[in-house]
Chain A
Amino acid sequence: QKEVEQDPGPLSVPEGAIVSLNCTYSNSAFQYFMWYRQYSRKGPELLMYTYSSGNKEDGRFTAQVDKSSKYISLFIRDSQPSDSATYLCAMSGGSIIQGAQKLVFGQGTRLTINP
């Protein structure tokens, strides 16, 4: 079983829809949770960062962490065609590699917002 599971999609929704992206994980030691956005042929860019359980909102984006269920979500409100990208969840706090925090990524969900 992978430490982090993410549905690769693809997910296609109409413009203006609310999008829900999710990851589950198995390592209860994870404490830090991130969402990265990756446009085609570009590097991932950090979108949201949360610590432990709870919600964090930034404009149209809301990140939600439920540690009891080992489940994290990213919600996008009023989705725009410019939100079309691959979204990767990432988390850490579970293990150290020779003194370095190990960041574990999900596979990424490919999202398309149709005008």
Chain B
Amino acid sequence: IAGITQAPTSQILAAGRRMTLRCTQDMRHNAMYWYRQDLGLGLRLIHYSNTAGTTGKGEVPDGYSVSRANTDDFPLTLASAVPSQTSVYFCATSLDTSTDTQYFGPGTRLTVL
């Protein structure tokens, strides 16, 4: 693994279904983030994690949950998907949350019908 991987690359999902987006890093960074990117709105922070075992809410957390059981993995779960969650989702990492430089994964393109 080189850097940050995300899975799936893309997904079409029926409304009401549960979906987990996966993010794995091998950089041993403490902090991890989930963003969504929408046309005209830019990147918006959904949830973040300072370190394994801790998580926090970003700007747009409603409808999403995260967990951080270990350093490398930071899954994002949509418990009951809605069409407004159609977006491109990016996972990012930084050495720690006091460091501004963030590194991004390749993204997951999600369509909720």
Contacts and interface: CB of A to CB of B under 8 A. Distances in A.
Contacts of B100: 32, 34, 49, 92-93, 101, 103
Which of A34, A98, A100 is the most central at the interface, judged by chain B CB atoms within 10 Å of its CB? A100
B50 A99 contact: yes
B107 A97 contact: no
Interface residues on B, range: 20 to 34
Which of B4, B41, B92, B104 is the most central at the interface, judged by chain A CB atoms within 10 Å of its CB? B104
Nearest to A102: B45
Interface stretch (A9-17, A37-45, A58-66, A72-80): A37-45
Given A99-B97, A100-B31, A107-B41, A43 B48 contact: no
Nearest to B41: A107
A44 B42 contact: no
A103 to B, nearest CB: 6
B42 A88 contact: yes
B87 interface: no
Given A42-B107, A43-B105, A100-B48, 10 more contacts: A43-B90, A43-B92, A43-B104, A43-B106, A46-B103, A97-B45, A97-B56, A98-B56, A100-B56, A105-B43
Interface of B: 4, 31, 40-43, 45, 48, 50, 56-58, 90, 92, 97-107, 109
13 contacts: A43-B92, A43-B105, A43-B107, A93-B100, A97-B48, A97-B57, A97-B58, A99-B50, A99-B97, A101-B97, A103-B100, A106-B42, A107-B42
Interface of A: 6, 8, 32, 34, 36, 41-46, 49, 88, 92-93, 97-103, 105-108
